[in-house]
Structure 1
């Protein structure tokens, strides 16, 4: 032993120094660990803690994109709405029965008959599980170009899928009446709030379909915002157009847009 040749006082001094050195190293390690160590999380940009991908799957609230199906468009239609105004209506399908995405960012491109890009705009939409939701963009284009085709694409980075098997609260719509034979047609209806809490500023989209074998024969679309719907009460809905319908309406589909609860 190196300490055998030392006096008792020197050995005691060496032991004290060793103890102090051990304490110092422990304090240094603790300081470093506290300052620089970060516990694994679902936002650290690293695949760890049993995650199926980087910050997704496993213990994380969000699902990995490889484990869900992307949204698809049933159709994207430009609609002439008087003068040079063109609206856009689209139906978006979320085929996932147990996955939802809130605030998904999309971009719509409108092309003319000559193939030129007339307008491009973006927006966001909630995608409840196993659902079809409308994307309505009024006054999308106002110009002399003749609209021909429209397309929609999603920003994949904005598709934050999370586990969900329930849709937003349903607000039933009844008493749908259509006045289509005038130069300024309208649709009226009643929306019901079956819950014990009021709803405020509810956006509602109506899609009017014409007589055709095609499932996307949309002849008109519009939206309104209901300022308030009392608890267990009702509110009137009115949708108006300044030009006649482009065909004979045979069916109306009305979509109350209720925000999707998300992590």
Structure 2
């Protein structure tokens, strides 16, 4: 039978062990415990995949619709030089890709590769995006087909805010041997926009693209207007009946 003094020793020893546990084990737990994040390589929190979905900004690969390449074409600029444009549509209204790599491949009438061009672009949410590459040299060969490919993994992110409020308020086209398009762009945002692209697409009566061109606006102050120009070295092959002018701005990027 255990004596009362022995019981007291066990009781005191238990209290000491409990105190050690409180003073050592619990602080050690909080010291070593790693709070779940969207960058820990584990599926936790309310994520629907590893570090994606739920409250994470990154969207899981299975939770978005793939971008659609509506069309891709090469446009003659001068002898032996072409521009290429792909009309890319992002069907996701609240998801975008900040940066991805792409490739244009131009083929001749024998389906032989004439030229390849790699580049990088962003993909704003819920909007068509013209991807433009200029001055592609082809020598004496003429491209009859252009293929556009996305060659990097698309990392999708939730986009809660809209793109900067940029408007094309007017435009004026003049044809002839050296066609020119003049447009007025207005920054309706409260922040300045720096080094952003604006692409012009000209269409015929069948809504086929006749020509494309791109310019870069170096700076546009808040609530300011600026005149921009697009030029071509060759006459238009048909009458221009529709003009599309599209700025490319991505939410969250400081322009």
* Cα 1:122–1:44 shift into 2, 3 Å: farther
Once the two structures are TM-superposed, the CA of residue 24 in structure 1 deviates from its matched residue by 8.3
Q: Secondary structure at the match of 1:66?
A: helix
Q: Secondary structure at the match of 1:59?
A: coil
Give the CA RMSD over aligned residues: 3.0
Report what 1:220 is aligned to.
Answer: 211
Aligned pairs for 1:108-187 (under 5 A) are 108-155=104-151, 157-164=153-160, 166-182=161-177, 184-187=178-181
Q: Secondary structure at the match of 2:120?
A: strand
The total of aligned residue pairs comes to 253
* Cα 1:22–1:93 shift into 2, 3 Å: same
Q: Secondary structure at the match of 1:147?
A: coil
Report what 2:230 is aligned to.
Answer: 239
Instruction: Check conservation: 2:124, 2:250, Cα contact below 8 A.
Output: no
* Cα 1:156–1:178 shift into 2, 3 Å: same
* Cα 1:227–1:59 shift into 2, 3 Å: closer
Report what 1:45 is aligned to.
Answer: 41
Report what 2:221 is aligned to.
Answer: 230
In 1: Cα distance, 2:211 partner to 2:176 partner: 14
Instruction: Check conservation: 2:124, 2:249, Cα contact below 8 A.
Output: no
Verify: 1:72 aligned to 2:68, yes or no. Answer: yes
* Cα 1:46–1:255 shift into 2, 3 Å: same
* Cα 1:12–1:159 shift into 2, 3 Å: closer
* Cα 1:31–1:110 shift into 2, 3 Å: farther
* Cα 1:74–1:7 shift into 2, 3 Å: closer
Once the two structures are TM-superposed, the CA of residue 240 in structure 1 deviates from its matched residue by 1.2
Report what 1:207 is aligned to.
Answer: 201
TM-score (norm 1): 0.81
Q: 1:88 aligns with which of 84, 91, 106?
A: 84
Q: Which residues of structure 2 form unaligned runs of 5+?
A: none
Q: Which residues of structure 1 form unaligned runs of 5+?
A: none
Instruction: Check conservation: 1:79, 1:220, Cα contact below 8 A.
Output: yes
Instruction: Check conservation: 1:228, 1:235, Cα contact below 8 A.
Output: no
TM-score (norm 2): 0.83
